[in-house]
């Protein structure tokens, strides 16, 4: 159930295949990493030739800041645990976003 705006030239085989491929991502959960280190996880609703991507129900994930790591390390120590300190990424809901293609560094699909 996806459409392609009609500008696609009929008979352009490469383009048809590409559209077909991209269509398979619709409503799949994507993980999009961008240049500043953040990652966006949401369902793909739309894309175009510049790889701009609209994600719905999106969460933003961010690497923990230095102070977060420090704090976690102190807690870890206080609790008398050994081994590596695990710090969660900072997560927040941001809803409907468009990620411009120029900032994308990596894309992953779930499932």
Partner 1 sequence: MTEDQQHGSFNFAAHRLAQEARQALSFGSRGVKDVTAEFATAAKQLQPGQLVKDDYFTLFEAVGALEIMDPKMDSGCVPEDDSFEAEFDVCRGLEAAEIIWILDELLCLEAAWHDGYPLSQTVFTSLHVDRLLSPDNNAPYNLHYDRRPAGDLSNDEQLVHIVLRAYCLALIKCSQLVLHTVQSQNFYEEEDFVTHLFGRELLPKLSTDECYRLLDDALRFITTLNLPADTSEALKARLAFRRNYLAALIDDTDDWPDLIARMEVIDSTNSLGRPLREAFSDKVQRQLATSTPPRPMLQVSWKDAYARWTKMCAGIIETERLTSFWICQSPHCLQRAMWAFSYLEPQPNTFARAYLQDRLFGSDRITEDVSHFDLLLTDIRDLVLAGDPLADPDSFQVELPSDPRHQCSRHIEAFMDKAFEEYLNVYRMVCQNRCRIRRTFTQAIPIMDALETEAIRTDEELNRLAPREAMPNKSGAKVQLNPLTTWTKFYKVQIMARTIQLGFETEIYLPDELCTMYWLLSVFAHHQCSRIEAIERHLLVRTLSLLDHPQQNSRYAAECMASRDWLRSLHLQWDATRMMALALWRLCGILMAVRIIEAPKRDFAQDQLLYDARMKPYLSVNNEPIPSLQDLDRARQNIKSVEVTCKSIEMDVKEAKAHLAEVKMMSPEQAKYVGTEEQWKREMKQLETTCVAIAVQASQLMRIAGKHGKKGAQEGDSLKETVEASIPPPEKRYHGWWVVPQLKERKM
Provide the binding-site residues for partner 1, judged by CB under 8 A.
1-5, 7-9, 14-15, 17-19, 21-23, 25-29, 31, 34-36, 38, 40-41, 43, 45-51, 54, 56-57, 59-60, 62, 65, 67, 71, 74-75, 78, 90, 92-101, 103-111
Please state, as a whole number, how many other Cβ atoms lie within 10 Å of the Cβ of residue 32: 23
Q: Closest approach of Cβ 85 to partner 1, in Å?
A: 14
Instruction: Give the residue with the Cβ less far from partner 1, 85 or 96.
Output: 96
Nearest to 90, CA basis, from 45, 18, 39: 39
Q: Is the Cβ–Cβ distance between 31 and 39 less than 8 Å?
A: yes
Comparing CB distances to partner 1, the nearer of 67 and 82 is 67
């Amino acid at each position: 159930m996806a459409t392609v705006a009609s500008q696609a030239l009929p008979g352009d085989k490469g383009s048809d295949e590409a559209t077909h491929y991209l269509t398979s991502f619709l409503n799949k959960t994507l993980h999009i990493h961008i240049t500043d280190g953040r990652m966006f996880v949401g369902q793909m609703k739309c894309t175009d030739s510049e790889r701009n991507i609209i994600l719905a129900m999106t969460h933003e994930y961010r690497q923990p800041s230095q102070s977060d790591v420090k704090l976690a390390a102190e807690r870890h120590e206080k609790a008398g645990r050994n081994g590596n300190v695990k710090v969660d990424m900072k997560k927040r809901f941001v809803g409907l976003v468009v990620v411009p293609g120029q900032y994308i560094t990596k894309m992953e699909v779930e499932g």
